[in-house]
Structure 1
Amino acid sequence: MGGSGLVVRDLSVGYGPVRALRRVSLEVPEGAVVTVLGSNGAGKSTLLRAVSRTLSFHGGAVTEGTVSLGGRRLDGLGPDRVVAAGVSQVPEGRRVFARMTVADNLRAGALRADGGRAGRAAALHRVHELFPVLAERAQQRAGLLSGGEQQMLAVARALMAAPKVLLLDEPSLGLAPLMAERIADTVREINTQGTSVLLVEQNAALALRLATRAYVLEVGEVTLSGPAAELAASDEVRRRYLGVVDEDAAADAEQAGGVRRTLTRWKG
């Protein structure tokens, strides 16, 4: 594991007596998009909460392991200090402040940002360029936005802290396919602008298109990892997460794409 990006090493998490993660390790290099796949209950959201230090709000706790960004340990910090260190999370279900205006939601996202007034202005300019509709709806209550617009606001709020790493938890959940693709395009643009992304996403096909590397969580453990293209070409991943059941068709697609199905099974 390198030390320049976000590094999770041997992380275990429990909710009381229930073990949710067991010795999970992964890395998000600088400038990368990394995705975590897995079924419901596999521990994906728990992983993001452990990184952002919000586990205690959900009754969980890290029992062993470390999380670091650029060589700096994050696992001893409070959630606000993690944001200040460069990690922002967009939670599942958007969780915007429904009674507050769009503008006030964005101001809330900048509370722990460095850079003063100039930094906040630059961040606001960035999110308005990414999501022009939020500039148009600045004085509208967030609860009156559509589901897709609320997801845009949730992402924009996280970006107001100018993070080095953005944690995205199911950004396409509940969205129409067209809106999900718009969110995916925005993730690509955010990454192009220099922000690394750790993406948890039930839509495996979408996630594997966005990511350079992927990990598969099963019952709290990493069982597969490798380049996203290799996982996308894997019969096992196709069958379990992409809905491909015709093995011959999967093999033909793999051969046509010229991608080897060499996957890493986690041994830990």
Structure 2
Amino acid sequence: MSVGYGPVRALRRVSLDVPDGTVVAVLGGNGAGKSTLLRAVSRTLSFQGGALTSGDIHFEGTRVDGLAPDRVVAAGISQVPEGRRVFARMTVADNLRAGALGSTGTRAAKADALRRVHELFPVLAERGTQRAGLLSGGEQQMLAVGRALMASPRLLLLDEPSLGLAPLMAARIADTIREINAQGTSVLLVEQNAALALRLASRAYVLDVGEVALSGPADELAASDEVRRRYLGVVDEDAAADAPRGLGALPTLPRWEAGR
């Protein structure tokens, strides 16, 4: 698919696949198009003035790029936006109830979803009557994830879940993502913390200026010198010296080779 914001092309012929039951990571620098990708899937591009200009999106065999956002949620896709975006003046319990509004499940199914959220995040049960805006950053992230899970999605879109969190809280969120996936929910994870993302994912894509510049199994990308230097902060002088001779052995980004 390709996506534009007016005359600005944000994504150019991007193709990716999220196999059922997996965690797939999307890496890239600021402005690479990662959040735009998730908005295209969740059909929330229009809220930021964007639009799908070509291509299509299929979920479980059904085309979803023509659906309204609430119909995408009903189809089984929920997004946790960057920056948490909880309803600050509403209580924790009301935030969770809001997450179930797009669900087509029965009352019993929604009660089961709430139990699941409380099991994953006991603090949300303890603070159900507290205003969401008074929670810590980590607790707000838990609430944002819990709110998305209230619709019982089969595909969860996570946009920078570790952003602004202390390392210990980021690790807790990572453990929760593993648990959510182990319970059968597929995850499309956008994350600037590449080390964290590659540990969680089975496959990863690297976006560079709106295009897929690199993709493959997460462990292979983690071993790539280009990915290690640009995203993992690993500087190996011997590897850097040998890089020109090893370009054929591991996947590389042509534009990076050219110094762009």
Normalised by the size of structure 1, how large is the TM-score? 0.90
Alpha-carbon separation, structure 2, partners of 1:90 and 1:247:
39
Partner of residue 63, structure 2: 73
1:126 counterpart (116, 138, 150): 116
2:176 counterpart (159, 182, 186): 186
Partner of residue 75, structure 2: 85
Partner of residue 42, structure 1: 32
- 3-state SS in 2 of match to 1:23: coil
Shift of 1:263: 3.1
Q: Please tell me the residue identity of whatever aligns with 1:220.
A: G
Question: Any residues of structure 2 matched to 1:207-222 within 5 Å, and which?
Answer: 207-222=197-212
Alpha-carbon separation, structure 2, partners of 1:148 and 1:214:
25
Alignment: residue pair count: 249
CA distances 1:5-43 after superposition (whole Å, capped 9, x unpaired): xxxxxx100000000000000000000000000000000
Q: Please tell me the residue identity of whatever aligns with 2:115.
A: H
Question: Any residues of structure 2 matched to 1:1-268 within 5 Å, and which?
Answer: 11-248=1-238, 262-263=250-251
Alpha-carbon separation, structure 1, partners of 2:200 and 2:54:
30
Report if the CA contact (8 A) 1:234-1:261 is conserved: no
Normalised by the size of structure 2, how large is the TM-score? 0.93
Report if the CA contact (8 A) 2:4-2:11 is conserved: yes
- 3-state SS in 2 of match to 1:48: helix
Report if the CA contact (8 A) 1:163-1:195 is conserved: yes
Report if the CA contact (8 A) 2:24-2:202 is conserved: yes
Alpha-carbon separation, structure 2, partners of 1:177 and 1:59:
34
Alpha-carbon separation, structure 2, partners of 1:83 and 1:248:
49
Shift of 1:244: 1.2
Alpha-carbon separation, structure 1, partners of 2:6 and 2:58:
24
Shift of 1:261: 6.0
- 3-state SS in 1 of match to 2:177: helix
Shift of 1:114: 2.1
Report if the CA contact (8 A) 1:238-1:250 is conserved: no
Shift of 1:249: 6.3
Shift of 1:192: 0.1
Q: Please tell me the residue identity of whatever aligns with 2:193.
A: N
Shift of 1:246: 1.3
**Structure 2, unaligned stretches of length 5 or more?**
242-247, 255-260
CA spacing shift, 1:152–1:248, aligned 2, 3 Å: same
Alpha-carbon separation, structure 2, partners of 1:86 and 1:117:
17
Alpha-carbon separation, structure 1, partners of 2:163 and 2:229:
21
Partner of residue 5, structure 1: none
CA distances 1:126-154 after superposition (whole Å, capped 9, x unpaired): 00000000000000000000000000000
Report if the CA contact (8 A) 2:225-2:239 is conserved: no
CA spacing shift, 1:31–1:223, aligned 2, 3 Å: same
Alpha-carbon separation, structure 2, partners of 1:42 and 1:125:
37
CA distances 1:187-238 after superposition (whole Å, capped 9, x unpaired): 0000000000000001000000000000000000000000000000000000
Q: Please tell me the residue identity of whatever aligns with 2:93.
A: A
- 3-state SS in 1 of match to 2:162: coil
Q: Please tell me the residue identity of whatever aligns with 2:251.
A: L
Shift of 1:248: 2.9
CA spacing shift, 1:73–1:116, aligned 2, 3 Å: same
* Structure number having the greater strand percentage: 1
Alpha-carbon separation, structure 2, partners of 1:169 and 1:29:
19
Alpha-carbon separation, structure 2, partners of 1:27 and 1:113:
24
Q: Percent identity?
A: 82
CA distances 1:36-69 after superposition (whole Å, capped 9, x unpaired): 0000000000000000000000000000011111
Report if the CA contact (8 A) 1:244-1:250 is conserved: no
Q: Please tell me the residue identity of whatever aligns with 1:131.
A: F
